[in-house]
A and B are shown apart, each in its own frame.
Chain A
Amino acid sequence: MEALELARWQFGITTVYHFIFVPLTIGLAPLVAIMQTAWYRTGNERWLRLTKFFGKLMLINFAIGVATGIVQEFQFGMNWSEYSRFVGDVFGAPLAMEALAAFFVESTFLGLWIFGWDKLPKKIHLGCIWAVAIATNLSAYFILAANSWMQHPVGAIFNLETGRAEMVDIVAVLTNSTLLAAFPHTIAAAFLTAGTFVAGIAAWWMVRLVRRGDAETARDVYRPALVLGLVTMLVSGGGVALSGDLQAKLMFQQQPMKMAAAEGLCATEDGAAFSILTLGDLSNDCDGVVHLLEVPGLTSYLANGDFTSTVTGVEDLQARYEEQFGEGIDYSPNLAVTYWSFRLMIGLGAGSAALALAALWLVRRGRLTDKPWFGRLGLLAIPTPFLASAFGWIFTEMGRQPWVVHPNPDPSGVDGVWMLTARGVSTSVGPGAVIGSMVAFTLLYGVLAVVWFRLMKRYASEGVAATEKDPSPDARRDDPDDASDRPLSFAY
């Protein structure tokens, strides 16, 4: 393999891995903040116990998200230096803004929250977790602004003299139509992830306690958590679907090749069908594609809201791109990967939201359940939104290929700002260095994933009981100076 393929694999591995933890943090921080607010408002101990229980799980997860995030910011320069030179004037700005406006807030106030239980007045302490929750979401906005610009460059020009893209309108970059659809989609997916996580664990515990004869704790502590998780899942599931539809419509305009590939649509069609199952060979050749099962007209409807409209296929798009950008390059992404990642994203996401509906019915009007399959289903549901997010990113990034910066198709939009992925890779870094770093990251990430999973599992299986060893924050006296001799809560 050459440095290019290795660098692409490395980016894929480190990014998908990073994004296992990130959506849980983005969604769980606000949910923990809601739990703590409920405790602050009602004074009910159940919410304090839930805050501490899910707060600990959030912290275990947060650490690995932060650790793997550092790599993300460095590897553009390390493996993709030519890309960095080309886009830095535009792409660097949202990254720097993210650090200054969001990441500082997130990490500083998390420290205050972890160690501030005894030291801060209740209200300020509550403010700290909200600051973390808002900042993690703001962080996502800036990072998605950078990514959306790669999908659909705006607010920039190509400077022939310097040979790079240069920013002319920051507002356009920060209000990119792609971003305005991708942000709610990603955030809703993150809430779906965290909602499923909370609901899944609470469901398992509820069943377990009812079967053990402790229906009281099940009703008092876990049922409210379950309902909070399920409602989050339902609302965010709807949000994912709506924003996803919006995004797909934009994508048909902005990256028609990605959507044609997602549908396995080789030839241009009127009233194009939505394929449920398509087989193809792995040669990435249109000749081998066989549609087995499809819904007539649905792809056209998804593209334009009209069941009979025309959707351009891969072959025609290839001809169009060749005319515009030169021959000798395959402008279509890997068809099998794009097609399947798109379906897995939708299927796993929708499945997770559907589960929430069924579960809400089961626990309607104060009901509990002791059915073991319900508890097990709760646990089994937890990974589905994680996988949906991963496939979503694989789809959107692999579907953009062969471009790293996709050309903006709007003739009145930016001109000349595009880059093939092959041109973006570092020229001064040999395959040996990339393979060495890829092996190092993969091994380390593998070990950390195992440890992370064991920790999460261990703390989840301890339930709210794990929180009782902490000194009660109610012991906090009004004069914080008096607190100095008592044990540190949440201490390392």
Chain B
Amino acid sequence: MDLPLIWFLLIAVLWTGYLVLEGFDFGVGMLIPVLGRKDKDRRVLINTIGPVWDGNEVWLLTAGGATFAAFPEWYATMFSGFYIPLLLILLALIVRVVAFEWRGKIDDDGWRAWADRAIVFGSVVPAILWGVAFGNLVRGVHLDADHQYVGTFWDLLNPYALLGGATTFLIFLTHGAVFVALKTDGDIRRGAGRLASRLAVATLLVAGGWAVWTQLAYSTAWTWGATLVAAVALVRLVVLTRQGREGRAFAASAVTIVAAVVLIFGSMFPDVMPAVDPANSLNIRNASSTDYTLTIMTWVAVILTPVVLLYQGWTYWVFRKRISTAQIPEHTGLTFLRR
């Protein structure tokens, strides 16, 4: 069996899991000031992802760990090369995690305002920067003969990668709005539905443009399939959000993300980190671990990933009910000043 190929596919699967799941988390986080005018509305929004956001984020850690184990050279070059974007993503994810968990612990408007700022910042920054990072991976970066990144931070901010950032930003925003419409009831649901139908049009234009640019400039023939699926899903998303068919619309935005990941990884293949000078590229051969390590890790992944999907799926089943302001208690948390 071709183990590096299997691991290339597995890492694509892990990223798919991450971007589909945390994609709507990011969307919900970004929409807090837009859809949540009153605090109770905001708490409805946060509670839609309350039980699941932490589990969703582990897909990122697994993708990172798997890249380290299966393609150490890729992990080393990418993480040291994309230093500043990753630093910003880390800072964003840190404040986001603590803000979710700590927001309801203190019953104070100022406290909650700070938590909301942290959640919005922590959602917007990664939503954009993951797109920028993947754009650069597809486009190719400056690597030397030792596979060291020799470009600068500013090289990463090229028009194509920035369009990638706008694409992930809009996709996640729409994905999040559709998710809120699917998971809530009452005014929030209606507001989210309306917003989703407007966002879907913008996403169709930007993401569609990015996909065609990717396909024409950086990709190969077979990924036309993924581009086509993405295009169909985006059009369906526009139609379905107009019709208010929330479940199907959510499926459409999820399929868009899956197709985008296929397009990204398909464009890179067989490279994992294409260089401007193709001779210096990292590919699934020269970046990979030994067959021994890959065999062990394949067993671990093949056994555990379905189990993870099973219990995470069960979590979504347990919390499948729509929630509304009626279920949100009046007060949550203590105040720093004793009442």
Contacts and interface: CB of A to CB of B under 8 A. Distances in A.
Interface of A: 56, 59-60, 62-64, 66-71, 73-74, 76-79, 81-82, 84-85, 87-93, 95-101, 103-105, 107-112, 114-116, 119-120, 164, 166-168, 170, 426-429, 433, 436-437, 440-441, 444, 448, 451, 454-455, 458-459, 462, 466, 469, 471, 481, 484-488, 491-492
A84 B51 contact: no
B327 A484 contact: yes
A78 B334 CA distance: 39
B315 A107 contact: no
B273 to A, nearest CB: 12
B interface, by DSSP: helix, strand, loop or mixed? helix
Nearest to B311: A108
Interface of B: 43, 46-47, 50-55, 57-58, 60-62, 64-73, 75-81, 83-84, 86-87, 90-91, 93-95, 97-98, 100-106, 148-150, 289-290, 292-293, 296-297, 300-301, 304-305, 308, 311-312, 315, 318-319, 321, 323, 326-329, 331-332, 334, 336
Contact of B51 (A68, A74, A115, A455): A115
Contact of A92 (B65, B77, B328): B65
B65 A95 contact: yes
Contact of A120 (B311, B318, B328): B318
Given A88-B72, A112-B315, A429-B83, A60 B102 contact: yes
A487 B324 CA distance: 10
Nearest to A162: B290
B297 A96 contact: yes
A107 B58 contact: yes
B68 A84 contact: yes
A78 B83 contact: yes
A89 B65 contact: no
10 contacts: A63-B100, A63-B101, A88-B289, A96-B69, A104-B312, A428-B80, A437-B83, A451-B102, A484-B327, A492-B47
Given A84-B76, A96-B62, A167-B290, A111 B52 contact: yes
Contacts of B62: 96, 99-100, 103-104
B47 A488 contact: yes
Given A111-B51, A166-B292, A492-B101, 9 more contacts: A70-B93, A77-B68, A96-B66, A99-B61, A101-B304, A103-B61, A167-B296, A451-B102, A471-B329
B290 A166 contact: yes
Contacts of B84: 433, 436
Given A70-B93, A428-B149, A92 B336 contact: no
B50 A492 contact: yes
Q: Which 3 A-B pairs have the closest CB atoms?
A: A88-B72, A77-B79, A92-B69
Among A78, A79, A458, A459, which residue has the most Cβ atoms of chain B within 10 A?
A: A78
A74 B83 CA distance: 10
A101 B300 contact: yes
A168 B295 CA distance: 11
A326 B104 CA distance: 58
Contacts, number: 257
A487 B329 contact: yes
Contacts of A78: 79-80, 83, 86-87
A88 B318 contact: no
Contacts of A73: 61, 64-65, 68
A88 B69 contact: yes
Nearest to B53: A111
A492 B69 contact: no
B297 A93 contact: yes
Contact of B334 (A104, A109, A451, A458): A458
B191 to A, nearest CB: 20
A115 B300 contact: no
Given A78-B80, A485-B327, A491 B301 contact: no
B332 to A, nearest CB: 6
B68 A91 contact: yes
A66 B323 CA distance: 27
Given A71-B90, A426-B80, A491-B47, A107 B57 contact: yes
Contacts of A455: 102, 105-106
Contact of B76 (A60, A81, A100): A81
Contacts of A91: 68
Contacts of B301: 100
A114 B51 contact: yes
Contacts of B300: 96-97, 100-101
A257 to B, nearest CB: 28
Contacts of B64: 73-74, 77, 99
A82 B76 CA distance: 7
B113 to A, nearest CB: 14
B63 to A, nearest CB: 9
Contacts of A469: 329, 331
A107 B87 contact: no
A429 B318 contact: no
B111 to A, nearest CB: 10
Contacts of A448: 94, 98
A466 B105 CA distance: 11
A334 to B, nearest CB: 27
A437 B87 contact: yes
Contact of B54 (A71, A97, A107, A429): A107
B323 A488 contact: yes
Contacts of B106: 455, 458
B79 A81 contact: yes
A95 B55 contact: no
A98 B62 CA distance: 8
A260 to B, nearest CB: 33
A64 B50 CA distance: 16
Contacts of A120: 318
A440 B102 CA distance: 21
A76 B68 contact: yes
B87 A440 contact: yes
Contacts of A99: 58, 61-62, 64-66
Contacts of A95: 65, 68-69
A488 B336 contact: no
A481 B318 CA distance: 10
Contacts of B70: 92, 96
Contact of A100 (B53, B87, B304): B304
A73 B87 CA distance: 12
Nearest to B89: A74
A337 B94 CA distance: 30
A232 B149 CA distance: 50
A111 B83 contact: no
A167 B101 contact: no
A91 B105 CA distance: 38
A229 B320 CA distance: 38
Given A77-B68, A84-B68, A99-B65, A92 B75 contact: yes
Among B60, B83, B290, which residue has the most Cβ atoms of chain A within 10 A?
A: B83
Contacts of B67: 92
